[in-house]
């Protein structure tokens, strides 16, 4: 492991290379904020996969978002690297991936990043001037990224920065809430990207009914993918009246603005749940197979390198209540009981509505 060292001089141009999923991009924003606070005059760009850039909407720390295809030919990739060649004083990879590391090597005069364990990874260290070994088990994703700040000798900022939308889009969003007649509401985001992180339809309906009986309107969110909108539609149809279904109609920035105005958010292990936690509103996260130490939502006021969450057990930190499904195998760290993305997870299927409701009432009692 290379020893930490302060950048030789204040960089003028910085590239943060984060070609990965939406959650990875969002959880790299504390590193971006750390660098902008240390070097406010620096121009900080971020490179991400196409389709993930929405989570950076309205982020004041990012000068330019560079998007690249998730899949492309080697010719196209080389062309992209040539466009980036040595354009930056500093290039950083908060991911232990070849794509991020090679991007840093091409783009930066100084290059730092993460490496996985093993001899093969050590040979890849030749692409970096400094590196840290990646821990995929016992270090939270936010803390892992902030090790780059330590290597640069700058003060880490632990703030996850959620997206924001434009004033015009915000005005249009608020108009769409008119059916709620100004009543307080909860946001429910039932659908994760993969089935193995999914709670049951019946449980979502029961929870929504309980919220309405408690005097809250219910607003559903979700992406525009057909499978997701169909799933949310099924739940919303069982709740006539004050259930407002906005799934498939909002950007991530608009979703964040909606959540900021809610009394409560409930969702599974997905990027929108991380956004909700970052806004500071009361957030309930439903976890099953996933490792909370690594992927638990980062509470808005958490400022500790140590993960907010143990590997096993439900609990609360700040504005976030993390509920883990039952079972001795939880968390198995696998993709559901059948170990594939479309698998069910018994631990989530057995997570009782009553357990979630106890967390709901605890959080709502503090926000009246």
Which pLDDT tens digit goes with each residue over 292-347? 999 999 999 999 999 999 999 999 999 999 999 999 999 999 999 998 888 999 99
> Does the pLDDT at position 8 exceed 80?
no
pLDDT interval class at 5 (50, 70, 90): very low
**Tokens in use for 139?**
């270090």
CATH code, residues 13-152? 3.40.50.2000
Task: Give the span between the Cα atoms of 94 and 24, in whole angstroms.
Answer: 9
pLDDT digits (tens, 9 = 90+) for 189-226: 999 989 999 999 999 999 999 999 999 999 999 999 99
CA terminus-to-terminus distance, the chain = 50
**Tokens in use for 145?**
């990224």
- Judge whether 68 and 49 are in contact, CB under 8 Å: yes
Domain(s) of CATH 3.40.50.2000: residues in the chain = 13-152, 167-364
pLDDT interval class at 366 (50, 70, 90): confident
Task: Give the span between the Cα atoms of 204 and 192, in whole angstroms.
Answer: 13
> What's the CATH number of domain 167-364, 3.90.1010.10, 3.40.50.360, 3.40.50.2000, 3.60.150.10?
3.40.50.2000
Task: Give the span between the Cα atoms of 300 and 337, in whole angstroms.
Answer: 32
Task: Give the span between the Cα atoms of 356 and 337, in whole angstroms.
Answer: 22
Range in 92-96, 114-118, 140-144 with the lowest mean pLDDT: 114-118
């Amino acid at each position: 492991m290379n020893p930490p060292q302060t950048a030789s001089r204040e960089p003028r141009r910085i590239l943060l290379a984060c070609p990965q999923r939406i959650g990875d991009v969002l959880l790299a924003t504390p590193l971006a904020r750390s660098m902008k606070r240390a070097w406010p005059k620096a121009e900080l760009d971020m490179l991400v996969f196409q389709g993930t850039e929405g989570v950076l909407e309205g982020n004041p720390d990012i000068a330019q978002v560079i998007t690249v295809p998730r899949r492309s030919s080697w010719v196209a990739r080389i062309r992209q690297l040539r466009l980036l060649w040595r354009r930056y004083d500093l290039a950083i990879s908060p991911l232990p991936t070849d794509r991020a590391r090679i991007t840093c090597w091409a783009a930066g005069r100084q290059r730092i990043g993460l490496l996985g364990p093993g001899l093969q990874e050590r040979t890849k260290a030749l692409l970096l001037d400094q590196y840290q070994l990646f821990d995929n088990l016992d270090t939270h994703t936010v803390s892992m990224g902030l090790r780059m700040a330590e290597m640069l000798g700058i003060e880490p900022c632990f703030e996850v920065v959620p997206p924001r939308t434009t004033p015009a889009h915000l005005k249009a969003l608020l108009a769409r809430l008119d059916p709620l007649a100004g009543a307080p509401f909860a946001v429910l985001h039932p659908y994760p990207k993969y089935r193995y992180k999914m709670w049951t339809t019946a449980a979502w309906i029961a929870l929504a009914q309980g919220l309405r009986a408690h005097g809250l309107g219910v607003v559903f969110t979700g992406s525009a993918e057909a499978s997701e909108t169909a799933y949310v539609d099924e739940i919303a149809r069982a709740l006539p009246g004050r259930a407002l279904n906005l799934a498939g109609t909002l950007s991530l920035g608009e979703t964040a603005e909606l959540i900021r105005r809610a009394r409560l958010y409930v969702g599974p292990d997905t990027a929108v749940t991380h956004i909700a936690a970052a806004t500071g509103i009361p957030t309930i996260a439903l976890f099953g197979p996933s490792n909370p130490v690594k992927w638990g939502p980062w509470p808005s006021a958490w400022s500790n390198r140590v993960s907010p969450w143990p590997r096993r057990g439900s609990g609360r930190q700040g504005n976030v209540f993390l509920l883990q499904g039952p079972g001795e195998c939880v968390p198995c760290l696998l993709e559901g009981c059948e170990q594939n993305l479309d698998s069910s997870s018994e631990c989530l299927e057995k997570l009782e509505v009553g357990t979630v409701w106890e967390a709901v009432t605890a959080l709502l009692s503090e926000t009246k």
